[in-house]
Amino acid sequence: MERPYDVGPDDKVHPGDPVTVDRYTPAARINHWITAASLVLLALSGLALFHPSLFFLTGLFGGGETTRAIHPWIGVVLFFGFLGLFLRFWRANLWRGEDGTWMRRLSDVLRGHEENVPEVGKYNAGQKLYFWTMSVLIIIMIGSGVVLWDQYFAEYTSVGQKRAAVLIHAVGAVVSICVWIVHVYAAIWVRGTIRAMVKGSVTGGWAWRHHRKWLRELVTGKRDDQGSGAKPAE
């Protein structure tokens, strides 16, 4: 029988008190934290080069010249780090019919009334939006960054292309930082989420409350199309 699209081969339920559910492998967690660290370093080094008032941040990297030299290389690490995450998780982040309903009822989620929204798989609509938004932004950032990387690509680009790339790169960076802040806030706000990326597992209660469809599919080994409907609001 074909495994449900959002259940990974290493996702497992372990009986106990409390029940625990494996959500991320050690390799996936290392991949995530390398990508996250690269994004933070890119933001700091990029802001240091963005405006004179933030130039003091170059001290974190050994000065302005060093910051300018290593910034694009950190971008390369980010690109390949996120590529690893993309290849691991793109299938589980495909948009499903219940995701639109989940977004329309986001206010219920924010108020803690998740019983009024559709049951979701391994990722909810908000997480999927973050995944695909960052996928697009990273492509934009690496593309515009290559145009600006004069050490290797100066002869292949014109002045006009560089000017456009500066604007695109700056806008993309600001949007990326804002999206990342929302992502971190959401991870802190939903208690138990950070544990998944630190320990690799969540409690059965957490999985039942926030990702019930994924848990049901994991236990039964069958895709659950009946769990996608929301319960009516009381």
Give the chain's domain count.
Answer: 1
Q: With beta carbons less than 8 A apart as the criterion, state whether 144 and 169 touch.
A: yes
Residue 45 burial by Cβ neighbours in a 10 Å radius (0-12, 13-18, 19+)? buried
Residue 106 domain flag: yes
Q: Is 80 left (phi over 0), alpha (psi -120 to 50) or beta?
A: alpha
Residue 202 domain flag: yes
Structure confidence at residue 157 (pLDDT): 93
Q: With beta carbons less than 8 A apart as the criterion, state whether 94 and 131 touch.
A: no
Residues facing 203 on adjacent strands: 20
Residue 215 domain flag: yes
Catalytic (active site) residue 183? yes
R_g (Cα) of the chain, nearest Å: 21
Mean pLDDT for all residues in the chain: 90
Residue 158 domain flag: yes
Q: Identify the CA nearest to 70 among candidates 182, 163, 145.
A: 145
Pairing mode, if any, of strands 201-203 and 20-22? antiparallel
Residues facing 202 on adjacent strands: 21
Structure confidence at residue 102 (pLDDT): 92
CATH of the domain at 128: 1.20.950.20
Rounded Cα–Cα distance for residues 77 and 37 (Å)? 10
Query: Which residue range forms the structural domain that includes residue 108?
Result: 13-220
* Mean pLDDT, range 40-47, rounded to an integer: 96
Q: Which residues of 60-91 are buried (b: 16+ CB within 10 A; e: fewer)?
A: ebeeeeebeeebbebbebbbebbebbeebbee
Q: Is pLDDT of 225 > 90?
A: no
- Pick the catalytic residue: 32, 71, 169, 183? 183
Q: Identify the CA nearest to 150 among candidates 72, 74, 78, 41.
A: 72
Q: With beta carbons less than 8 A apart as the criterion, state whether 141 and 233 touch.
A: no
**pTM value?**
0.89
Residue 46 domain flag: yes
Structure confidence at residue 232 (pLDDT): 34
* Mean pLDDT, range 156-175, rounded to an integer: 96
Q: Which two tokens stand for residue 23?
A: 């959500």
